[in-house]
Amino acid sequence: MEDRTQHGYLVLADISGFTSYLAKVELEHAHEILTDLLETIVKEFKTLFTISKLEGDAVFAYVPETNFLSGENILELIENTYVAFRRQRETSRRNTTCTCRACKSIPTLDLKFFVHHGDFIVQHVSGIRELVGSDVNMIHRLMKNHVTENTGWTAYILFTNRALQSLGVQFEEIHKQFESYEHLGEIRIHCIDLHARYKAIIETKRVFVSPDEADFNFTFDFDAPLQVIWHWMTDIEKKTLLADGDAVFTAQSRPGGRNGPGASNHCAHGKNLKGSLIETILDWRPFEYFTFEGTEGNSKMRQTYRLESISDGMETRLHFHVVMISPSPPRFIRCPMVKMIISKLALSFCQNIAKHIARETDAEIGTRTIQAAA
């Protein structure tokens, strides 16, 4: 089935400065440091991507087009990977008492990502799987560029024009330039600074409704991977689909052009869709949890949805916690009130997700079978 042309995203993560770092330091310790950093990248990538191979100080991965992914999901995973890389780099530096040049120079290492959308074939030769195609060649050529020279950035995400269009994500600030390569001509690229994104992510305040403070707690197990459930719970079009005509969700504000703290959605619901609810995101930790406040008239509820991967990543457990902010009667009155309002809605929401995922999975399997037979 894999020896056919596939369409999707090609992603390279390349550790910046490792070649010069390796030339100046002790090989044994440098190898240990590189192994820890590469393992961190691979662990994060496996959430959504298929690892093609390790390429020295780089990780090459891909993901075919699927209904289970959005452009924001891919971008968020890349940002999560960078945050994990920075944490591992700091942990390695902090946990060593070694004074060799390799250990002292850990902070000089950084990470760049290259994202392209195109065609590829997974080729099998003597038991070895290899991605081939002109788009595979292109993304590797893009690793040699003038971004750092033009911007001073040592950590960034580089998107080809085709990748950015396919992702459908808007940025308020993005660097644009052209790169020229033999046989490829001029390629338009778009880049964002990961140092700025890292600072914004770690400075974001955490808002989490804990089970102890919640007026109502609910748990539901899904027979699908975590990234699939995250997409269904956070995508506006999916949420409208799940409502089966009883509600319509539309995006309102999108600070920075994306979902995240401060972003809001409008939900028209009820008879003739006359009801009006505003969801405002307070905390956004992709593939981990999100918290929002729902406001309708004088009523306000804060809700946290936390996802947990179970059964070796094949299933997902939702932990849902909600607290009434206003009005705020005594808790012995509040808890049964919230349970009466929320419990059936929460169960119906989860059951509809499970139902739609089962339908899409069956349709995808059928499509693949037809393509393979052809």
**pLDDT for 20 beyond 80:** no
**pLDDT for 67 beyond 80:** no
Residue 187, φ and ψ in degrees, nearest 5: -125, 125
Helix, strand, or coil here: 209? coil
In this structure, are strands 110-125 and 156-160 parallel, antiparallel, or unpaired? parallel
Over the stretch 311-358, which tens digit does the pLDDT of each residue have? 988 999 999 999 999 988 898 999 999 999 999 999 999 999 999 999
Q: Are 112 and 17 in contact (CB under 8 A)?
A: no
**pLDDT for 373 beyond 60:** no
| Assigned token pair, 156 | 């960034």
Spatial separation of the C-alpha atoms in residues 179 and 132, rounded to whole Å? 22
Closest-CA residue to 224 (of 66, 354, 365): 354
pLDDT at position 11 is 97
Helix, strand, or coil here: 302? strand
Spatial separation of the C-alpha atoms in residues 108 and 302, rounded to whole Å? 42
Q: Are 338 and 301 in contact (CB under 8 A)?
A: yes
| Assigned token pair, 163 | 């990748």
Over the stretch 248-266, which tens digit does the pLDDT of each residue have? 999 999 887 888 999 999 9
When the pLDDT of each residue in the chain is averaged and rounded to a whole number, the result is: 88
